[in-house]
Amino acid sequence: MSKKNKKVIKKDLTKSKFTTVHHSMLYDQRLSANALRILISLLADAENFNAFYKLFENRFKISNKTVKAAFKNLEECGYVKRTKLPRGFHYTISEFGNLNPTKTEVEETPVIKEVDVKLEEKIQQQKDLLQEYLNRNVAYLEHDYIQNFMFDLVSTHTNSDGLLDFYTFRNKAEKELKSIKKELFQGLMSHTNKRSPCISKKADKKYKEWLKEEIYVKNNVPTDVECKHKWKHIKIRNQEFKTDYETARYDKAEQDYYDNQ
């Protein structure tokens, strides 16, 4: 039996209107219930949407006195700042709650900001490394299995702050790709060898070198047409010419021995 004592039924946020609320604001015990409702409403409104007491009286069906008390609470907690104008007020709203800071908060704010900036820089650096790595292996990402594997690996090695542990990700990805490249190389070699009953040692060596460079160095997956074209080119340039009977027998025996290794 499940130990959970609740079941949550949520709306589809991709098709609904919603507002993201940071936990620091949601769990701020200094805020009254009405102050929190009005603050969320202020943040949800567009930039050019004017704020008036009457607006929130009508929106939430509450009294003018309740709205005034809520705004006073928001000002005390630093979420709202009112500036007197010739007619009315100008409102500044901050979800950081830093518009009426204490001395301690003033001292701590630059430190928090610096930490956030450094985190953003690290996240961007890891993203750049990841993009560069994926670009090098783009030919393999065309295969659904490898693409899904890579994306799952990225998700596994990204923490709650959105920071990717790139080097751990890369090591595991390279291990998987190495296995895939080995299978691919063996498969293409086997397929090519079946095309011709007689393969010279020199031609076979050159074809292997080309195939290894394509797969392991260039991170490319040669198509069947490319393999055929390359093999034909190498075979023609390295074909063996007939000699006397004894030499031909010796060459054939050496080639058979090599092919059976």
Calculate mean pLDDT across residues 22-30: 85
DSSP H or E run through 80: strand 80-84
Give the model confidence (pLDDT) of 138-180 as tens digits.
877 776 777 778 888 888 888 887 888 989 988 988 888 888 8
Residue 2 predicted with pLDDT over 60 = no
Domain shared by 211 and 166, yes or no: no
Domain shared by 63 and 118, yes or no: no
pTM above the 0.85 mark?
Answer: no
Domain shared by 76 and 123, yes or no: no
Q: Which of 78-82, 103-107, 139-143 holds the top average pLDDT?
A: 78-82
* Residue 171 burial (10 A CB sphere; 0-12, 13-18, 19+): exposed
Give the model confidence (pLDDT) of 208-255 as tens digits.
888 888 888 888 878 878 888 887 888 777 655 445 555 556 656 666
38 in a domain, yes or no?
yes
Q: How many domains does the chain have?
A: 3
116 in a domain, yes or no?
yes
Give the model confidence (pLDDT) of 190-212 as tens digits.
766 665 556 677 878 888 888 88
The owner of tokens 């023609």 is 236
183 in a domain, yes or no?
no
| Domain coverage including residue 169 | 103-176
pLDDT at 241: 47
* Residue 161 burial (10 A CB sphere; 0-12, 13-18, 19+): exposed
